[in-house]
Structure 1
Amino acid sequence: MAAGLSATSITVSLRGLNGSLVENREWTASSIDLLAAAAPWRTFRWYRGQRHYSGTYWSATVRDHVIYESRLELARLLFADFDPSVRSIVAQPFLLKAEVDGAVRKHIPDYLLVTDEGPLVVDVKPLHRLSKPEVAFTFGWTREAVEIRGWKYEVWSEPPSVELENVRFLSGYRRDWLFDRGLVDGLRGAELDGVSLRRAAVSLPGHPEEQVRSAIYHLLWTGELTVDLDRPLSPVHVLRKTA
């Protein structure tokens, strides 16, 4: 844990979507609206022999592309997009600076999530690297800086593989304009609580089973229906309606 961190020593810099640069603003005085409207502080890089896979992901939450710098960051992005409590996602949202133990430190978090429970700042790092002293030190003072203003901070590592594969599969059904609105509304009005996915797929006569199943996957993505994601998704999974 970092020592001697003072709120008055913390500043934030960010880039506006119009290319403008805001530098060294007081961290605790910078509004969430300002930070949530930021463009990525740095863009990802491509070079020969690169060890990480960078790219862009179209997010149903923000209705736009969001960048990621590794497959692990993409995994966290998928989970954020899948979470109905997340209202906004900003990649590499800002540069934090703070005086820590007599020296100026800098750090760019991986994501800022605006959620129903408040802002969440996320750093993504493989589990095997969390024990490195320099990583632990950086995440320690970053946590302090975030929590100083009453926000939440998360260090995220590899998720359970089955859950990730299920979320990755359901993300293929996130684009709402691809689904027949009448079919989706029909499923919303059907008694599907406690029904297996296999039975639900044939619950709307007159609609092809594959289309109904795809619409069910869309409602699983939006969170209107839920299933147990701790085992591979299958026709025997039992659907639950959310409140």
Structure 2
Amino acid sequence: MSAIPSDGSRLSAFALETSRLSASIPIRAPAPGRLMHAVHSALAQPGHDEQIVAGRIVLTPDGRPIRSIITGRRHQVTGSYASRKAGQGLVFESMNEHDFYQECEVDPRVIDYRAQPFRFEFVLEGQVRRYIPDCVRLLECGSIEVVEIKGCSRQLQEPDYAAKLERTKEICGLLGWRFSVVLAEQIRSPAVRRRNVLLIQQDRLAAFDERHVYLARKAIDEAGGEALFAEAAAAIEGPPRGEAILRALMVARVVEIELERPLCAESRVRLHHPQGRRDA
């Protein structure tokens, strides 16, 4: 296997060769696993466990965390979040990560996401360094986004850590991927939206079938493209089950419930149209 390059021009040459493949990333691959399908498609040799791209990206076979997280020896919050979108439990190492998963679960722009599904290996100041992103997600526009989650901006000021994030951002840019740092205050504000996210994600695993999807679509269409939450829920099934199904349909990216005002019977519900499309 080729040595990990340390020269900037060689980094560019490796990454640009693979970034040409990223334009063909399918966003409707069978779920679960859309994210990892897109990651493999974006890299030079899909299906391999290790890819030489400005260093190396080491993948897990099924998108599960690349390192063991829950050991029973940590003095911090750890656990697993059952995700409908990912089709599996996603481990977290902090409540910030847990809360970010809730955001991803409800955000209709997010198709799929994973906790720590791979690691970057690269040369930084003459040493081989490793970086494992907290979360990687596939957006409906086709972009892959690598996300680092932190409690506050002070945690980003340590020089070595900042340099490692900057190199990771550079590699993501060469691949045509996004790199984002998300702080706790961004996850939890505005407060009204955060409360709505909490309410909706609580019903993320509610069971529904094609009949429920049809009834929701019919109710929204008959209301002129935007229905009241109570009306749409009643059309699906009587409360409280109809309300739970409607919230689950937002997680499934079938409908969008307004998040800017407190969720109530008068909240507006419309069909979700990916990337701004308005064709049903």
Structure 2 CA distance, aligned partners of 1:35 and 1:146?
Answer: 18
Question: Of residues 108, 131, 136 in structure 2, which corresponds to 1:107?
Answer: 131
* Preserved contact between residue 36 and residue 90 of structure 1 (Cα < 8 Å): no
**Quick one: distance in 1 between partners of 2:195 and 2:158?**
29
Unpaired runs of 5+ residues, structure 2, are: 1-5, 16-47, 273-277
Pair 1:238-2:259 in alignment:
no
Is the 8 Å Cα contact of residues 115 and 135 (structure 2) preserved in structure 1? yes
Q: Which residue is 2:24 aligned to?
A: none
For the pair 1:139 / 2:165, whether they are aligned, the reply is yes
Name the structure 2 match of 1:98: 122
Amino acid at match of 1:234: C
Instruction: Show the counterpart of 1:42.
Output: 67
Deviation at 1:29, TM superposition (A): 9.2
What is the rounded CA distance, in whole Å, between the counterparts of 2:131 and 2:138 in structure 1?
Answer: 19
Deviation at 1:202, TM superposition (A): 4.0
Residue 196 of structure 2 aligns with which residue? 166
C-alpha deviations, 1:203-224, integer Å up to 9, x for none? Answer: 46xx423222222222233333
> d(CA) in 1 for partners of 2:215 and 2:266?
21
**What is the Cα deviation at residue 196 of structure 1?**
2.4
Query: Partner of 2:92 in structure 1?
Result: 68
Change (3 A) 1:225 1:30: same
Counterpart of 1:198 (choices 211, 230, 235) is 230
Partners of 2:135 and 2:147 within 8 A in 1: yes
Number of residue equivalences: 226
Closer, same or farther: CA 83–238 of 1 in aligned 2, 3 Å: closer
Asked if the contact 2:233/2:246 (under 8 Å) is kept, the reply is yes
Aligned with 1:189 (options 207, 213, 218) = 218
Q: Given the two structures, how large is their TM-score scaled by the length of structure 2?
A: 0.67
DSSP-derived class of the 1:154 partner: strand
CA separation of 1:94 and 1:182: change in aligned 2, threshold 3 A: closer
SS in 1 for 2:266: coil
34-43 or 107-116, which deviates more: 34-43
2:106–2:250: 8 Å Cα contact kept in structure 1? no
* Counterpart pick for 1:126 among 128, 138, 151: 151
CA contact (8 A) 1:197 1:237 kept: yes
Match of 2:174 among 145, 148, 167: 148
Match of 1:144, SS state, is helix
Instruction: State the percentage of identical aligned residues.
Output: 23
How much does 1:85 deviate? 4.3
Distance 2:171 2:245 in 1: 43
**1:74, 1:148 → 2: CA distance?**
29
2:208 matches 1:179: yes
